[in-house]
């Protein structure tokens, strides 16, 4: 048999054996042979095949092996994807430092997605030291290539003055570029700056237009802002029914203030039939997320037995949560419960402290309430209440820092 013919026959036999031993189809077997012979595109494609599970059982570990071999030959997509795998812990141990390094290699070759991810890494200090200036530089490189998400992030940095000088007009331009590409987050931010007149002339109607673009994509913040616009009639005709619709869309996504506002609409029958039980439901959802106005209103509903069985102890609990966040109404109401012993053991010192806090936070009736409770207290008790007030304020101040 001629030598050439023998070689071809043996190669064909090897090909069949590779496919049989690995359980791969002929196409994947051919791809593997090329990859093992150093073909960088074959290495990348084989990695993607294992990554996606197309034609073979999905195997992130094998995918990482072949991405690495392609990445080491300078394949930019392989470098980027290997960075993703390290950051996500897929096929390799989670390692943000290694992830950032592979992003850097791809970014230095001009790959926009890698430049973006490296910029985000510098923004958050993940895998690299936190550095807003370097974050802005890498995001700018990706944004200049037209990557919408980088344009959005760069706009946010310029709006906040992080890593770059604060520049509202330039931020507006980046938001606009990304918004025109259909990025919902950018559409929302563009609506917000038109609503506030930052970097662009104030224009409520244009703000509503951009909020609507983002809201129709399911962006919860935009849905909430659109609901507010319908409530106030800024930039469009006032319409409580539409306000309820948009608050509802945002609320079911977990938007805290939309949940609270939806509770208000149910409570007062605006745009929807009055329903205390529904008001309680939405206040509760916002309250458990820590929103103080919802916590205070929930306390009131427990106290009055509206939409829920009356429970003064629960009222105390929710007023207390809101009071800890400095909400004056809750501080006053909680003080009243301590002064009367409703739902909690009567405690004039605690009541005096809470009335003082509410007064300092601007609640008008709190001064009279504090003076009235003082008449029932000894000088030592008043001194103790004043000490507790200072301690509360000091703790609250430390928490804010």
Residue 346 phi/psi, 5-degree rounding, is -60, 135
pLDDT reading at 7 higher than 50: no
What's the average model confidence in pLDDT over 153-157? 97
pLDDT band at 92 (very low <50, low <70, confident <90, very high): very high
Q: 322-368: per-residue pLDDT in tens?
A: 999 999 999 999 999 999 999 999 999 999 999 999 999 999 999 99
First to last CA, the chain: 85
For domain 164-247, give its CATH number from 2.40.10.220, 2.60.40.10, 1.25.40.10, 1.10.357.10: 1.25.40.10
Would you call 65 exposed, middle or buried from its count of C-beta atoms within 10 A (0-12, 13-18, 19+)? middle
For the chain, what's the residue count?
Answer: 401
* Separation CA 22–CA 27 (nearest Å): 12
Residue written as tokens 């690495």?
68
Residue 168 phi/psi, 5-degree rounding, is -65, -35
* Separation CA 211–CA 228 (nearest Å): 11
pLDDT at 396: 73
What CATH class has 22-145? mainly alpha
Q: 95-121: per-residue pLDDT in tens?
A: 999 999 999 999 999 999 999 999 999
What's the average model confidence in pLDDT over 18-27? 58
pLDDT at 294: 98
pLDDT reading at 8 higher than 70: no
Cα-Cα-Cα-Cα torsion 221, 222, 227, 229, nearest 10 degrees, comes to: 120
Question: What is the residue extent of each domain of the chain?
Answer: 22-145, 164-247
22-145 against 164-247: fold identical: yes
What's the average model confidence in pLDDT over 175-181? 98
pLDDT band at 397 (very low <50, low <70, confident <90, very high): low
pLDDT at 400: 58
pLDDT reading at 186 higher than 60: yes
Number of other CB atoms surrounding residue 236 within 10 Å: 18
Average predicted confidence (pLDDT) for the chain: 93
pLDDT at 14: 33
pLDDT reading at 9 higher than 70: no
Q: 126-150: per-residue pLDDT in tens?
A: 999 999 999 999 999 999 999 999 9
Q: What is the DSSP letter of 256?
A: H
Q: Name the token pair of 371.
A: 């003076």
pLDDT reading at 1 higher than 50: no
Residue written as tokens 């930052």?
198
Q: 246-283: per-residue pLDDT in tens?
A: 999 999 999 999 999 999 999 999 999 999 999 999 99
């Amino acid at each position: 048999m001629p030598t050439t013919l023998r070689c071809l026959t043996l190669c064909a036999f090897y090909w069949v054996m590779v496919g049989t031993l690995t359980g791969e189809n002929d196409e994947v077997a051919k791809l593997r042979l090329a990859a093992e012979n150093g073909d960088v595109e074959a290495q990348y494609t084989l990695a993607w095949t294992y990554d996606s599970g197309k034609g073979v059982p999905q195997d992130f570990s094998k995918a990482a092996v072949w991405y690495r071999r392609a990445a080491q030959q300078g394949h930019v997509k392989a470098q980027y994807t290997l960075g993703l795998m390290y950051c996500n812990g897929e096929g390799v141990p989670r390692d943000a430092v290694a992830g950032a390094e592979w992003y850097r290699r791809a970014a230095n070759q001009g790959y926009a997605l890698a430049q973006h991810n490296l910029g985000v890494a510098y923004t958050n200090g993940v895998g690299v030291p936190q550095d807003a200036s370097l974050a802005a530089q890498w995001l700018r490189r990706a944004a200049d290539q037209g990557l919408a998400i980088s344009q959005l992030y760069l706009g946010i940095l310029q709006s906040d003055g992080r890593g770059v000088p604060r520049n509202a007009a330039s931020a507006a331009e980046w938001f606009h570029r990304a918004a025109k590409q259909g990025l919902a987050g950018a559409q929302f931010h563009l609506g917000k700056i038109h609503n506030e007149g930052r970097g662009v002339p104030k224009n409520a109607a244009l703000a509503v237009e951009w909020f609507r673009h983002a809201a129709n994509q399911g962006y919860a913040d935009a849905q909430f802002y659109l609901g507010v616009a319908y409530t106030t009639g800024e930039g469009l005709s006032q319409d409580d029914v539409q306000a309820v619709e948009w608050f509802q869309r945002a609320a079911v996504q977990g938007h805290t203030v939309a949940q609270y506002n939806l509770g208000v609409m149910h409570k007062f029958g605006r745009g929807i039939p009055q329903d205390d039980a529904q008001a309680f439901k939405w206040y509760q959802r916002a309250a458990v997320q820590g929103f103080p106005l919802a916590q205070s209103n929930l306390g009131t509903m427990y106290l009055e037995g509206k939409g829920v069985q009356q429970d003064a102890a629960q009222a105390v609990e929710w007023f207390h949560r809101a009071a800890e966040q400095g909400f004056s109404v809750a501080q006053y109401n909680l003080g009243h419960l301590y002064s009367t012993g409703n739902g909690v053991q009567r405690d004039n010192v605690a009541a005096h402290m809470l009335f003082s806090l509410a007064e300092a936070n601007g609640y008008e009736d709190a001064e009279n309430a504090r003076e009235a409770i003082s008449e029932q207290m000894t000088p030592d008790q008043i001194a103790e209440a004043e000490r507790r007030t200072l301690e509360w304020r000091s703790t609250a101040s430390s928490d804010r820092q």
